Amino acid sequence: MSKVYLVTGGAGFIGSHLVERLLSDGCAVRVFDNFMTGKRKNLASFLPDIELVEGDVRDLAFLGQAMRNVEVVFHQAAVPSVPRSVKDPLTTNSVNVEGTLNVLIASRDAGVRRVVYASSSSTYGNSPSLPKREDMAPEPRSPYAVSKLAGENYCRAFHTVYGMETVSLRYFNVYGPRQDPESEYAAAIPRFITALFQGRSPTIFGDGEQSRDFTFIGNVVDANLLAAKTDRGVGEVFNIACGERLTLNQLVATLSEITQIAVHPTHAPARLGDVLHSFADISKAREMLGYAPRARAHEGLRETVDWYRHAR
């Protein structure tokens, strides 16, 4: 029997893109999701080709059953929002911390070869030092950031104590097709694009001079597949980004240029827990994983705008 690749949170934005790539590479794919934040429509075109297990990562016994014959776990399942974590830190902790610990325990007990963990650039916090390097001291500012850092530390500990192969990837502001624009916790890019197409003024929290290293989804999927195969970097943490940044004001201007829609954004008060600047040094991922972002900001934004234009 061929080995299986398990994607927790596989019905989510990032997870579903990872599922799609794995299937295109001819892999056997099992998705584990409770649809708390994931969407069935993200998997609709893949359902005949995947094994779907509906479950919660907080259920260790059921998660263990889903690990049979699994070679690699891509652990994407999470409550993914800083504002949501500020509003409900208990759920964020139970899913992101306890759930990650359960994934590691179930993987260890099932003899899984490797766990690739989805972490976040939010772990760096508001340190003024740029670009962010993996050897910087974390300064998490939100319950979400704390939960992601805890997951990294559990991965490192399981590698040290049990010899498990783990690789943690710190994602920087991932965007692309299928990202949900409707949630009250939606990310900036899908919210801005949707507002433009609906003739509304996009809302920027703060003055818009905060900057982000926006990372196209295809780059993130590439990084996950590299992390699953690398002989280097086991037990390590890697920045996954483009190594360039845009302010939110520049982002809106770029989207206006791509869509050919004039826009005058509305500004609202800055949100609790948000960081001012996020910009990655990706040299470690280049050197140890062979990672190189194929889609830069303008290219990725154009592809994303085209998807939302046709999805309306």
In angstroms, the CA 251 to CA 190 distance is: 12
**3-class DSSP assignment, residue 219:** helix
Query: H helices of the chain, where?
Result: 13-24, 60-65, 82-87, 89-93, 99-110, 143-162, 188-197, 217-229, 248-259, 283-289, 297-311
Residues acting as catalytic residues: 144
Token output for 286: 């280049």
In angstroms, the CA 138 to CA 81 distance is: 18
In angstroms, the CA 31 to CA 280 distance is: 30
First to last CA, the chain: 42
- Cβ burial 112-146 (10 Å sphere, 16+ → b, else e): bebbbbbbbbbbbbeeeeebbebeeebebbbbbbb
In angstroms, the CA 166 to CA 29 distance is: 19
Length of the chain: 312
Question: Taking a C-beta distance cutoff of 8 angstroms, is the pair 93, 145 a contact?
Answer: no
Q: Which residue has the tokens 């970097």?
A: 233
